[in-house]
Amino acid sequence: MGYAIEMLNITKEFPGIKANDDITLKLKKGTIHALLGENGAGKSTLMSVLFGLYQPEKGVIKVDGKEVKISNPNVATELKIGMVHQHFKLVECFTVIENIVLGVEPKGKFGKTDYKKAEEKIIEISEKYGLAVELHKKISELTVGAQQKVEILKMLYREATTLIFDEPTAVLTPQEIKGLLEVMRNLTCEGKSIVIITHKLDEIKEIASECTIIRKGKGIETVNVAEKTVQELADLMVGRAVSFKTEKQEADPKEVVLRVEKLNMKNKIGVEKLKNVSFEVRSGEIVGIAGIEGNGQTELINAITGLENKFDGKVILNGKDITKSSIREKTLSGIGHIPEDRHKHGLVLDYTLEENLILQTYFTEEFSKNGFIKKSKVSEQSDELIKRFDIRAGKEGKTIARSMSGGNQQKSIIAREMKREPNLLLAAQPTRGLDVGAIEFIHKELLKTRDSGKGVLLISLELDEILNISDRVLVLFEGSVVAELETKNTNKEEIGLYMAGSRKE
């Protein structure tokens, strides 16, 4: 069997960092090849080189054995290479069809775009691979999972035979992940070749045949997946032994930090999103919120943090009613918030790392004087956090957040929120996009936060994460809390039943 793609000795530098240092990756035709490495190891960069977004300083790329020069994504498209990016690149206000044909519109009469023709072709593809999406909806109305299907359709519409997926499963629900892996398998059956970047090792075990591991920009080794255990893969990637199960002591909950009473919220078109939600979080405990995406998690977070203020009910922090307080007041009275969507809420991408680390504290005495920002204090803090949280960025605190790797962006948000030592830490999908080593570290930090007498509310779509570190679990289903369970007395199956709504307390 020949190679679909050969990337030989690729080197790509950014100011201050060698993102790829002499990496070689060979993709066998009709197979799935995993690319594994820590946050900032250079995975996205390597694939962006293949897709023509960056020009390597050194190295050769061969497609079907022939040396090529991929100077921009159009060339990549011509060579039948397609890519789904870590952060999607869709036009929000266009419909699905418009996005799919963008740039390769089929011409009808008088040079008008022939959407009928396009639609037929898209429907044919989507049926073949099981990628159903509503073609006439706008992207902004779609769930993340559906948006990803659009990205895949986009590649297939362009008749790509080599498909690159950059962390496709990070933003999906477990159900959606299953579906995606199925689609990928179908694709290889049709002779397509796939490179997948993922931090979830069991996914690699499940679908990939080979796995290339890179560490700090260097290619470490390419292994046959069947011959390695998940533990071995993890250790190879990090370069030390990693533990998956976080050791934790019994919780010792004390006084109530957060109490929400009878929260009721409707969305813009009047659909009830939260129904009579009441619960407490005590200091010294981690409360996990489990549930399938879209069952009220976002609304709950927005109500507590103040991002949304049209709702009924009460939010009480340390005995004080903060229902109607502004976001600033809530932040100051001790709420920390790791947001679900790091690019929308978590970061100002055009600010530097150190500026992002003072987003809520820039006006405090620590960082300002008479309205002027104390730059040296800002840098000091960022140096400290970069070290403590192992944030990797080319120009340290001066790195523009946009140019940081996804996982390191996430780490900076977590660092910022933990540094403020809030009484209540709301962590929504805190480890999304992090490598196993980083996840281990963040879980430990969350437990430390708990043990220092703070309350933690963990909202996660990953049951493993919830079971691993929370002390109590609440299950959200269609906007109601349908179960409250002690973690040590429950298991995945039981929670799963509640999540699906097939069991009520």
Partner 1 sequence: MSEDSIKRISPLISIILGLLLGYLLLLLVGYDGNSGFKYLFQGGIKGITEGKYRRIGDTLAQMTPLMLTGASVAFAFRTGLFNIGASGQMLFGGFVAVLVGITVDLPPVILPLVATLLAGVAGGLYGFLPGYLKAKYNIHEVVIGIMMNYVSVYLVQYLVKILIPGKYVIESAHIPKEASLKMSFISNIFRGSPLNAGFFVGVIALIVIYVILEKTTFGFELKAVGFNKDAAKYSGMKVNKNIIYSMMISGCLAGLAGATFYIGYTNHIKLGTVPTLGFDGIAVSLLGKNSPIGIFFSSFLFGYLKNGGSFMASSTDIPRELVDIVIAIIIYFSAISFVIEKFLNKLLVKMKKEGK
- Name residues contacting partner 1, limited to 345-374 (CB under 8 A): 345-351, 355, 359-360, 362-363, 368, 371-373
225: helix, strand or coil: helix
Closest CB to ligand ATP among 380 and 390? 390
**328 near partner 1, judged by CB under 8 A:** yes
Residue 363 near which of Mg ion, ligand ATP, partner 1, none (CB within 5-8 Å, type-dependent): partner 1
How many residues touch partner 1 under the rule CB under 8 A: the total is 33
The 46-85 contact track toward partner 1, x by CB under 8 A, reads ---------xxxx---------------------------
Retrieve residue 54's tokens. 């960056």
**437 near ligand ATP, judged by CB under 6 A:** no
Q: How far apart are the first and last CA of the chain?
A: 56
**331 near partner 1, judged by CB under 8 A:** yes
Closest CB to Mg ion among 29 and 343? 343
Looking at residue 287, its amino acid is V
CA distances for 146 relative to 5, 88, 168, 489, angstroms: 28, 11, 12, 35
Please state the closest distance from residue 281 (CB atom) to partner 1, in A. 21
Closest CB to ligand ATP among 16 and 65? 16
Closest CB to partner 1 among 341 and 390? 341
Map 338-394 to HEC letters: ECCCHHHHHCCCCCEHHHHCCCCCCCCCCCEECCEECHHHHHHHHHHHHHHHCCCCC
**497 near partner 1, judged by CB under 8 A:** no
**406 near Mg ion, judged by CB under 5 A:** yes
CA distances for 454 relative to 336, 346, 355, 423, 444, angstroms: 11, 22, 26, 5, 14
Q: Which stretch binds ligand ATP (CB under 6 A): 35-43, 59-67, 69-77, 108-116?
A: 35-43
**39 near ligand ATP, judged by CB under 6 A:** yes
Please state the closest distance from residue 362 (CB atom) to partner 1, in A. 5
**37 near ligand ATP, judged by CB under 6 A:** yes
Measured from each CB, the residue nearest to Mg ion is: 44
- Name residues contacting ligand ATP, limited to 250-269 (CB under 6 A): none
CB 213 within 8 A of CB 223: yes
How many residues touch Mg ion under the rule CB under 5 A: the total is 4
**198 near Mg ion, judged by CB under 5 A:** no
Cα dihedral 379, 383, 384, 385 sign: positive
DSSP, res 495: H
Cβ within 8 Å of residue 448, ≥6 positions away: none
CB 458 within 8 A of CB 287: yes
Closest CB to ligand ATP among 12 and 192? 12
Closest CB to partner 1 among 22 and 312? 22
Cβ within 8 Å of residue 58, ≥6 positions away: 9, 10, 11, 22
**40 near ligand ATP, judged by CB under 6 A:** yes
Separation CA 420–CA 361 (nearest Å): 9
CA distances for 117 relative to 101, 107, 124, angstroms: 11, 9, 11
The 383-422 contact track toward ligand ATP, x by CB under 6 A, reads ---------xxx--------xxxxxx--------------
Residue 19 near which of ligand ATP, Mg ion, partner 1, none (CB within 5-8 Å, type-dependent): ligand ATP
Closest CB to ligand ATP among 248 and 392? 392
The 49-88 contact track toward ligand ATP, x by CB under 6 A, reads -------------------------------------x--
96: helix, strand or coil: helix
Give me the DSSP letters along 4-59. EEEEEEEEEEETTEEEEEEEEEEEETT-EEEEEE-TTSSHHHHHHHHTTSS--SEE
Cβ within 8 Å of residue 376, ≥6 positions away: none
**322 near partner 1, judged by CB under 8 A:** no
Q: Which residues bind partner 1 (CB under 8 A)?
A: 15, 55-58, 305, 307, 326-332, 337, 339, 344-351, 355, 359-360, 362-363, 368, 371-373
